[in-house]
Amino acid sequence: MTPIQNRELRATARELGCRPRHPLASPRRSEHEEIPRGLRDRYVPIGRPPQASSAAKSRGDLVVIGDSISDAAFFKTLGGKPDQMWWAKLGRKTRTTPRVYAERGSGYTRPGKCVTTTIGQRIGRKAMATRMNKAKIVVIAAGVNDYRKCVFRADGTYYLAPTSGEEVEEAISAAFDELDAAVTYEAKVIITAPYGSRPELKQYRERLVRSLRAHSEEHGFQYVDTAHGTLWGKSKSRDRIHPTAKGMQRLYRDIYMKSNLRKRFR
């Protein structure tokens, strides 16, 4: 299939309210990939969120891939609770079960703490294939860490250096190709980049948003802007990056209200 035919297929699918599987997608991969022992705590299901009624049943999985902003363990160090996380609120609202794969310090170009995985590597794991195949909603919430990349020295140590626009573009493109091959027609895919208001990163933020928006449109994903006006004032912690409980509420609200989830998951 040519790129033009591919774009026409996706345009038709969007008009019909569905998303086609990537025409060059590889067959479904095995779900039995072994997860490195040191990372197993990062890849276990968070669990079923509290339901409004004991009779309510989950509609399916809400898969979240992100950084420390989506990490319940990190939020706890700021005084927060797991049920205050934005994805916990979204799961309750949409009656879906959150499955969270968040690594502190990670991004599209950068592994978490320079030792775990990038967003694309997490999406591409064989063990993730079954999870993605069953997901009703997929949210990729990342990008804030990609203004710097990990550069490794010969002795195995590393330092952080600025990323170029081309490096970020290539990493996002590769990650979205993996995502396109993993999700089903029925899954709702949302791309967002929660962002505080550090003035020195404004230029990078705008470049990131343009790239995420363009690649989302190309793949038929929905970009939801949480980089402008979502995290401000008391919604940010002292580091001006991570949300407080109030910020988690705003993040959940914007993802739900600005997307079409409120129409599909009332």
* pLDDT of 92 higher than 70: yes
Domain regions of the chain by residue span: 60-261
Average pLDDT over residues 29-40: 45
pLDDT for the residue 9: 55
Name the more confident of 91 and 202: 91
Tokens of 171: 């990493």
Side chain identity, residue 143 = G
pLDDT for the residue 38: 47
* pLDDT of 17 higher than 70: no
DSSP readout, the chain? --HHHHHHHHHHHHHTT--PPPTTPPPPPPS-PPPPGGGGGGSS---PPPPSSTT----SEEEEEESGGG-HHHHHHTT--GGGSHHHHHHHHHT-EEEEEE-TT--SSS-GGGTS--HHHHHT-HHHHHHHHHEEEEEEE--TTTTEEEEE-TTS-EEEEEPPHHHHHHHHHHHHHHHHHHS-SS-EEEEE------GGGHHHHHHHHHHHHHHHHHHT-EE---SSSSS-GGGB-TTSSSB-HHHHHHHHHHHHHHSSHHHH--
Name the more confident of 43 and 136: 136
Cβ(241)–Cβ(266) below 8 Å: no
Average pLDDT over residues 145-165: 95
Q: Which residues pair with 243 in a beta bridge?
A: 236
Split at pLDDT 50, 70, 90, the class of 236 is confident
Q: How confident is the prediction for the chain on average, in pLDDT?
A: 84
pLDDT for the residue 265: 82
pLDDT for the residue 14: 58
Question: Measuring CA to CA, which residue among 135, 178, 185 is closest to residue 17?
Answer: 185
Residue 179, class by beta-carbon neighbours within 10 Å (0-12 exposed, 13-18 middle, 19+ buried)? Answer: buried
Average pLDDT over residues 22-34: 44
Average pLDDT over residues 234-242: 85
**Euclidean distance between CA atoms 250 and 66, whole angstroms:** 17
Name the more confident of 57 and 118: 118
**CA count, 13 A, side-chain hemisphere, 144:** 27
Split at pLDDT 50, 70, 90, the class of 10 is low
159 C-beta neighbours (distance < 10 Å), count: 11
pTM exceeding 0.85:
no
* pLDDT of 27 higher than 80: no
The CATH class of 60-261 is alpha beta
* pLDDT of 55 higher than 90: no
What percentage of the chain reaches a pLDDT higher than 70? 79
Split at pLDDT 50, 70, 90, the class of 160 is very high
Report how far Cα 234 is from the mean position of its chain's Cα atoms: 24
Point out the least confidently predicted range of 41-50, 140-149, 202-211, 234-243: 41-50
